[in-house]
Amino acid sequence: MATSNGEFVAAAPVALDLEVHWIDGTDPDEPRYQIHQIETHTFVIRQSLRVSAEAPFIYLLFGDSRALLIDTGATEDSTAWPLREVVDQLIEDWLTAHPRSDYELVVAHSHGHQDHTAGDDQFHDRPQTTVVSSELAAIVDYFGFSEWPSGSARLDLGRRELLLVPSPGHHEAAITFYDPWTGVLFTGDTVYPGRLYVQDMQAFKSTIGRLAALTGTKPVTHILGCHIELSRHPGKDYPLGAREHPGERPLPMTASQLRAVHTTAAERANQPGVHVHEDFILYNGRRIRDHLKLLIRSRRSPLGVLPAAVVLLLLAGRDWVADHRLFNRPEKRTSNDAGRQ
Ligand SMILES: [Zn+2]
């Protein structure tokens, strides 16, 4: 049984340390991942661009009776991407500092694209662990959404109760997690400093409207998504598949930037195509010409590959950009050291 040691009794939201220089691929020998503790009970893990060009961010939140892992990264191979090992160590360290028995882990997802779920298998045999499927029906059932997407659900980690907001638009089963303890909105690929690929604009508009409304009723200190694709130059993104992000902008976004996404989505809802804002780039729909431009810019796509990619795109009719596996192959590595700060 869990015992309380007086954690989670401070006035929330607590102060966060988000001053961090993330690994950005500019050092070819950078570690496979980087861990950053933003406060006593919350960790951010970034996967290296050298392992996956998606370089997603993963979040680990500790509560009094269980922890929540949001996403499992872009790579299945546990040697290239040892997330289970990382999470096990973080939980062990946390439990040493905050002893509890029968401590559980819930593995859930911001959404079901492959760059956020690839590490799931590493957790299926972990004791006292629930891996929630990223399928919509399973999500509605597990978290107990009474209405999707208009309702919400709660996930109690033990004295740290998260509010879960359905967030379809980029992906039909996307969820935003609001954490009153830190005041953070964990927005997945719905809102982040990068290319916001919208598959269903009506759903996206409603989602952003709900999130914008939430920033008016709850203390939202930071918005943390799952990628960085923009440099510090306004509206300037890195090529798709880039293994280096020199001069990346910070990960956190603000409530006012979220409202700008809302405004842009409302204004551009009937205009398929690419809408560049200084803090994000909105891809409304799946126009082939927009995806082709991304491919042409990509340093990893020699022109000879293009015809095949186009044919694949047309035949498969799938949103390959949303889980661009083409670019997910790990690079060969010489160093396996893990970074931590
Ligand atoms: Zn993603």
Question: What's the pLDDT score for residue 306?
Answer: 56
Lowest mean pLDDT among 27-31, 61-65, 184-188, 325-329: 325-329
Separation of CA 294 and ligand 1 centre (Å): 16
Distance CA(102)–CA(181), nearest Å, equals: 22
Task: Report the SS3 class of residue 156.
Answer: strand
Confidence class for position 170, pLDDT limits 50, 70, 90: very high
The per-residue pLDDT for range 236-292, each reduced to its tens digit, is 999 999 999 999 999 999 999 999 999 999 999 999 999 999 999 999 998 888 988
What is the CB neighbour count within 10 angstroms for residue 309?
16
The full set of domain ranges for the chain reads 33-328
Separation of CA 201 and ligand 1 centre (Å): 18
Separation of CA 30 and ligand 1 centre (Å): 21
Separation of CA 175 and ligand 1 centre (Å): 13
CB 23 within 8 Å of CB 339: yes
The per-residue pLDDT for range 108-163, each reduced to its tens digit, is 999 999 999 999 999 999 999 999 999 999 999 999 999 999 999 999 999 999 99
Q: Please spell the DSSP secondary structure of 65-110, one letter per residue.
A: SEEEEE---S---TTT--HHHHHHHHHHHHHHHS--SS-EEEEE-S
- DSSP letter at 244 equals -
- Phi and psi at residue 292, to the nearest 5°: -65, -40
The per-residue pLDDT for range 19-64, each reduced to its tens digit, is 999 999 999 999 999 999 999 999 999 999 999 999 999 999 999 9
Separation of CA 322 and ligand 1 centre (Å): 7
Question: What's the pLDDT score for residue 118?
Answer: 98
Separation of CA 341 and ligand 1 centre (Å): 24
Separation of CA 176 and ligand 1 centre (Å): 14
The torsion angle over the Cα atoms of residues 127, 133, 134 and 140, rounded to 10 degrees, is: -120
Separation of CA 187 and ligand 1 centre (Å): 11
* C-alpha dist (Å) from residue 72 to 107, 131, 173, 244: 8, 10, 16, 22
CB 65 within 8 Å of CB 53: no
Separation of CA 238 and ligand 1 centre (Å): 15
Separation of CA 98 and ligand 1 centre (Å): 33
Average pLDDT over residues 66-83: 98
The per-residue pLDDT for range 292-307, each reduced to its tens digit, is 888 888 855 544 455 5
CATH-assigned architecture of domain 33-328? 4-Layer Sandwich (3.60)
Separation of CA 237 and ligand 1 centre (Å): 15
CB 294 within 8 Å of CB 263: no
Separation of CA 141 and ligand 1 centre (Å): 24
Question: What's the pLDDT score for residue 309?
Answer: 60
Instruction: Name the nearest CA neighbour of 199 among 320, 72, 328, 57.
Output: 320
Question: What's the pLDDT score for residue 336?
Answer: 40
Average pLDDT over residues 215-222: 96
Question: What's the pLDDT score for residue 86?
Answer: 98
Confidence class for position 173, pLDDT limits 50, 70, 90: very high
Separation of CA 115 and ligand 1 centre (Å): 5
3-state SS of 273-286 is EEEEECCEEEEECC
* C-alpha dist (Å) from residue 304 to 128, 239, 297: 49, 18, 13
DSSP H or E segment with residue 129:
strand 129-131
Distance CA(163)–CA(161), nearest Å, equals: 7
Q: Residue 2: is its pLDDT beyond 50?
A: no
Distance CA(263)–CA(255), nearest Å, equals: 12
